[in-house]
């Protein structure tokens, strides 16, 4: 199929960017979206133009590297998939496809479609860990009984790959779904109780410092999340925050 592409091009973080039109022909419906961009880049390189820069790594939906706002939605029109898992069969011959970087003050554009998502790393560093004695007296994690329901919920939260689709989809560029998943995966487990109070306070403080917006419960993040992270996590984070605030 033949497609028209409108792609955000930006030389570097300090330069102004703009949407640039491209045409690509003979696209196979079996290609992944990233493979389609690979083909476009080969054409651009052959013509002596700069290829379109975009993030990618595992190309099987588990690393969270690929991003892209495609036709106004993070990771494109499909549900429960990352951009690398999106196939061209989801588009029609003659379609015009808008391809933009994830937009947020806390996700500055590095080049073209690549954004700096290290703000997520700093939120993790602020409290997304547990203290475990690893010097000679390590306790096997499986020796600590965990309620099956809680274990499942913690695992669900831990499947967040930190891709940033929640921020990209949210009209407020809020990172509360990501932060709440990282709070929840520990809050639900006995190992996470030691730092529970500090964790939520520090991670929320860091989230605010990074310049993310406030959650207004539109639910867009949950719909667009490739891993199906639930809004339940945001409610849990709010409870954790309330409890931590009352403890002082």
Beta bridge partners of 70: 73, 99
Binding of other proteins at residue 92 (CB under 8 A)?
A: no
The Cα–Cα gap between 227 and 205 comes to: 25
CB closer to other proteins, 85 vs 206? 206
The Cα–Cα gap between 30 and 47 comes to: 25
Compute the least distance from the CB of residue 136 to other proteins, in Å. Answer: 37
Q: Which of 36, 66, 161, 176 binds other proteins (CB under 8 A)?
A: 176
Contact window for other proteins (CB under 8 A) among 29-37, 99-107, 119-127, 140-148: 99-107
Q: Are 176 and 237 in contact (CB under 8 A)?
A: yes
Binding of other proteins at residue 219 (CB under 8 A)?
A: yes
Q: Are 118 and 126 in contact (CB under 8 A)?
A: no
CB closer to other proteins, 18 vs 47? 18
CB closer to other proteins, 47 vs 171? 171
CB closer to other proteins, 65 vs 215? 215
Binding of other proteins at residue 81 (CB under 8 A)?
A: no
Binding of other proteins at residue 52 (CB under 8 A)?
A: no
Q: Which long-range contacts (CB under 8 A, 24 or more apart) does 58-66 make?
A: 58/84, 59/32, 59/34, 59/84, 60/84, 60/85, 61/85, 61/161, 61/226, 62/161, 63/161, 64/161, 64/162, 64/163, 64/164, 65/163, 66/34, 66/163
Binding of other proteins at residue 173 (CB under 8 A)?
A: yes
Residue with tokens 């306790």: 139
Binding of other proteins at residue 98 (CB under 8 A)?
A: yes
Burial (Cβ within 10 Å: 0-12, 13-18, ≥19) of residue 1: middle
Binding of other proteins at residue 118 (CB under 8 A)?
A: no
Compute the least distance from the CB of residue 104 to other proteins, in Å. Answer: 6
Contact residues for other proteins (CB under 8 A)?
Answer: 6, 8, 19, 69, 71-73, 77, 98, 100, 103-106, 109, 169, 171-174, 176, 201, 204-205, 207-208, 211-220, 223-224, 231-232, 234-239, 241-242, 244-246, 248
């Amino acid at each position: 199929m033949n497609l028209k592409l409108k792609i955000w091009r930006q030389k570097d973080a300090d330069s102004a960017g703009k949407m640039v039109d491209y045409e690509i022909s003979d696209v196979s419906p079996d290609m992944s979206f990233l493979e389609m961009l690979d083909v476009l880049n080969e054409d651009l390189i052959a013509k002596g133009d700069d290829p379109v820069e975009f993030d990618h790594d595992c190309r099987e939906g588990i690393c969270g590297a690929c991003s892209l706002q495609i036709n106004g939605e993070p990771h494109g029109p499909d549900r429960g998939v990352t951009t690398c898992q999106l196939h061209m069969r989801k588009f029609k011959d003659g379609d015009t496809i808008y391809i933009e970087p994830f937009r947020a003050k806390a996700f500055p554009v590095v080049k073209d479609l690549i954004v700096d998502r290290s703000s997520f790393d700093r939120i993790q560093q602020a409290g997304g860990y547990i203290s475990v004695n690893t010097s000679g007296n390590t306790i096997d994690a499986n020796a600590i009984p965990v309620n099956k329901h809680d274990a499942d919920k913690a695992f669900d939260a831990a499947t967040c790959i930190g891709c940033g689709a929640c921020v990209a989809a949210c009209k407020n560029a809020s990172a509360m779904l990501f932060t709440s998943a990282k709070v929840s995966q520990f809050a639900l487990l006995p190992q996470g109780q030691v730092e529970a109070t500090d964790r939520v306070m520090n991670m929320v403080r860091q989230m605010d410092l990074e310049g993310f917006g406030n959650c207004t419960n539109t639910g867009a993040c949950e719909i667009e999340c490739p891993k199906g992270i639930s809004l339940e996590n945001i409610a849990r984070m709010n409870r954790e925050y309330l409890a931590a605030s009352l403890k002082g």
